[in-house]
Structure 1
């Protein structure tokens, strides 16, 4: 009797497991079943917001459901990242993360227990080098002018960055460390929009962020890109030299990127569908020409490649930041 009961229970459990697997298979096949929410963990109006909206609008044309972008700013992208982690892993909530989500937040341990294992990479879309931008009437014509002025009057040049301890802060700290210059650092929230306002109204003399973030100001003649922390010339901004051309003695290449991610445990089939959808949008002439116009470098990596790239990048930058802590230049 007990053997029959055990056998019956085993068959019941096996049947339930098969039903669950079959149900999951149908669920994946039916994806998407509703609109897809795309979280941008930054305020509206910045470069990341514009790029994600552009590629998502194109992707939506070939997607069997609506895709809408929602800005969730705060905490160096931590607020938006937390919402992603708490979302159901069914592909109906994804996010576009940047440098801070992969580097700053885990290094500073801003979200206890957070690692990259809490999300699945879909693809990397762009890479953007950090750059120094000044007002159009600024007296500095190149990086050497700026460094010389900062050395002559330490603390007199006001630099706008996005959050203390974030990427743009690290870029500026490294520049100070490499050149011996001393700037007055002014921190704004995690948005290039506030940096734009500060530069225009004279609150700061220069800002550090990507050229793409400030493209409208540069194109309108209200601001000038001074240097880009890259080793290649940006075709969208031919008048802004890479640091290797401006001053070869300054070995500093830093910047951000935009990577699409989903919650951990999102099924492979869903990741593959999202990757294919966004890849087609990325390859479109409309998106490629638009990126060139705003001076942003297209840099596609698929799911597997971007996962490995993110781990390598994180390891390298953690090492750099730890060294700056030891020197007393950066605080954890």
Structure 2
């Protein structure tokens, strides 16, 4: 005779087996779907949060063909500029985490926009899954070729004597250039009047060339062509060592100012990618970043490849977030 306790035990065991089987099948189907990534004929969208023609856009278009070769599908670069990168980052963070949407991410912009409540960002650092760092691009300060300021010290002293008398470009509120200006002010007492061009460095450079701003605050990559064409004169580089592509330009430290500022750029996806998808994307991005042809072209733009894996890039972001929190008051919008 089968007792009630035995019936209950048998039912529980059967239920457990069924649930375990369902769990295994679900996991297998998830892994199978990830292993099938990317599906034949399905494109991957690479979001650039700034306008075309700038350093972020150019770097993304250099790696895209290699990604296509590695992943076996089309990689479409899509520009979504505005709000200092926030529009593009919002689109990236809100996309489905299936690997078919990735984006170029640059800090400090992607790191700091969620830190200021006034920005109304709908994402945080944890909304992104870093896939690999590409480069670190030191900040520079430049003037017109016919500017009366021949040295960085002359420019700094003039800005100290007449605060906010000279306009200086940035690529948007709380972007790398904006933070660089804040760091200059904190270290030297020189206060420039920032003019924000949220579409990116191409728009900022155009304004400088049109003499709508007095000073160009940009990155090494953004000024390399301007220097070659004789359209800008760089007075200082904000890095610990001289930039290889600008060997004759002194660092801020050489001029007596303890200022270091740079923009780190890489690639990320919306958080929550399946492991197999993340591994495929990370491997393809590493190959693309370290491709000799890409490295050479990046060097021609004044950029030195500085690859970090997805995990290391994530730790790098965390360190930046802690550092930028300390100087946020200097770059927050004043009412």
Query: What TM-score, normalized to structure 1?
Result: 0.90
Per the alignment, residue 273 of structure 1 pairs with 280
Contact 1:103 1:318 in 2 (8 A): no
Per the alignment, residue 33 of structure 2 pairs with 27
Does 2:140 match 1:134? no
- Measured in 2, the distance between the counterparts of 1:100 and 1:197 equals 22
Q: Which has the larger radius of gyration?
A: 2
Q: Quote the offset at 1:309 in angstroms.
A: 1.4
Q: 1:298 to 1:331 in 2, by over 3 A?
A: farther
Per the alignment, residue 232 of structure 1 pairs with 241
Does 2:51 match 1:46? no
Q: 1:108 to 1:201 in 2, by over 3 A?
A: same
Per the alignment, residue 264 of structure 2 pairs with 257
Q: Quote the offset at 1:8 in angstroms.
A: 6.1
Deviation sequence 1:248-290 (CA, Å, 0-9, x none): 3x11111111121111110222222111112112222211111
Deviation sequence 1:125-144 (CA, Å, 0-9, x none): 00011111222222222211
Deviation sequence 1:201-233 (CA, Å, 0-9, x none): 111111111021233222211112221111111
Aligned residues: 326
Per the alignment, residue 106 of structure 1 pairs with 114
Per the alignment, residue 16 of structure 1 pairs with 22
Contact 2:86 2:110 in 1 (8 A): no
- Measured in 2, the distance between the counterparts of 1:152 and 1:111 equals 36
Does 2:328 match 1:321? yes
User: Structure 1: where are the runs of 5+ without partners?
Assistant: none
Contact 2:108 2:174 in 1 (8 A): no
> Is the partner of 1:98 in helix, strand or coil?
strand
Q: Quote the offset at 1:40 in angstroms.
A: 0.8
Per the alignment, residue 80 of structure 1 pairs with 88
Q: Quote the offset at 1:111 in angstroms.
A: 4.5
- Measured in 1, the distance between the counterparts of 2:333 and 2:75 equals 40
- Measured in 2, the distance between the counterparts of 1:30 and 1:111 equals 37
